[in-house]
C-alpha cells in the first residue's frame, strides 16, 4: 500500500486558491470549481497527499454548487470533524494523511445511496482519469469506477 502524507514540497506547489482551501479551511465560491461539471470516469484524490478520496461512480449533481459524492472511495482516508464555525454546527471533511480541508458532509444526499452528501471543494482535489489510474498507482480502484453520463 502506498504511503500518503503531507509534505512541504506538495504544499509549496499549490495555487493560492488550493492553499487557501486546503490549508486555511477556505471554501471556493459555489459554481466555480474546475471539477464541478466533470463527468469523466476516474477517481478524485487529495491534491496534497494523493490519497484516493472519491470515485466518479459516487459523484452526483446535487445542485449545491460544489462537487457532491455519496461516499468516500476509502473511508479510512476521510476524517470527519465537528465544525462549529459561522454560527452553525456542521461536519467538516478532511483527508486523513494530507490533513487537507475538503469540505463538509450533510445528511441530505440520495436516500437510495446512503443519504449522505459529501460537498467537496474542487480546489482540494486532483482528478485521475480511469485510463491513467493504473500508471498513476491507483489500479486497485478500477473496479469502483464506471462510466458516468
Catalytic (active-site) positions: 119
For the beta sheet containing 117-120, the strands, ordered from the edge strand earlier in sequence to the opposite edge, are 59-60, 68-69, 117-120, 101-106, 90-95, 78-83
Go through 41-62 and write b for each residue having 16 or more CB atoms within 10 A of its CB, e for each that does not: bbbbbbbbbbbbbbbbbbbeeb
CA distance 49 to 36: 21
Which of 125, 120, 130 has the alpha carbon at shortest distance from 41?
130
Cα–Cα distance measured from residue 117 to residue 110, given in angstroms and rounded to the nearest whole number: 8
Amino acid at each position: 500500500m502506498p504511503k500518503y502524507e503531507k509534505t512541504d514540497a506538495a504544499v509549496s506547489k499549490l495555487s493560492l486558491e488550493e492553499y487557501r482551501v486546503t490549508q486555511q479551511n477556505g471554501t471556493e465560491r459555489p459554481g466555480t470549481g474546475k471539477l464541478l461539471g466533470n463527468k469523466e470516469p476516474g477517481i478524485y484524490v487529495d491534491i496534497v497527499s494523493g490519497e484516493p478520496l472519491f470515485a466518479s461512480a459516487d459523484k452526483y449533481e446535487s445542485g449545491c454548487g460544489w462537487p457532491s459524492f455519496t461516499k468516500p472511495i476509502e473511508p479510512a482516508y476521510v476524517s470527519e470533524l465537528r465544525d462549529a464555525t459561522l454560527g452553525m454546527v456542521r461536519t467538516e471533511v478532511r483527508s486523513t494523511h494530507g490533513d487537507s480541508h475538503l469540505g463538509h458532509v450533510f445528511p441530505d444526499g440520495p436516500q437510495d445511496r446512503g443519504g449522505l452528501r459529501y460537498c467537496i471543494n474542487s480546489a482540494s482535489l486532483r482528478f485521475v482519469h480511469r485510463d491513467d489510474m493504473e500508471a498513476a498507482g491507483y489500479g486497485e480502484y478500477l473496479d469502483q469506477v464506471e462510466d458516468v453520463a
